[in-house]
Amino acid sequence: MIYPVKLSHTRKIILSLALFTYFISLTSVTADEETPFIDGFSDVPLLPGFSLVADRTMIYDAPSGTIAIAAIASDLTPFEGFKRYRQSLLSLGWECRQEKNKMRCKNASSILEITAEKNKKLQQYFSLKSVPLKE
């Protein structure tokens, strides 16, 4: 037989916050073993909900390191796209800061710039550019 447990108002709030935090951690967007990385980009995953635009990818091997340019498409707003990528990149060791329609991130070896834009068909695109970090 199951007996009901009486909880105080404070304990109900604490329990609710704990459960909320737990479920948020389950749904956070981070890169895992199944998330593919974008060719030419050091530790930059192609997150679920984004697709690579094939004709907008270029990779250059320069004496200073690899320079990569790509575009990814999504139905997300710029705000939501930046939020998801910031969460994922922070978990991979990147430091990020956002300005209006642009986010700049840096790790130990590269600088990554992500810019939100729309194409002629009003689809949302995110342009990515990665350059080696100058020492």
Domains delineated in the chain: 50-132 (3.30.310.80)
pLDDT above 90 covers what percent of the chain? 50
> How far is Cα 39 from Cα 75, in angstroms, rounded to an integer?
22
More confident of the two residues 114 and 9: 114
Over residues 40-49, the mean pLDDT reads: 91
**What's the pTM?**
0.71
- In tens, the pLDDT along 57-105 reads 999 998 888 999 999 999 898 999 999 999 999 999 999 999 888 999 9
Share in percent of the chain as helix, strand, coil (round to 5):
25, 35, 40
Residue 7 has what pLDDT? 59
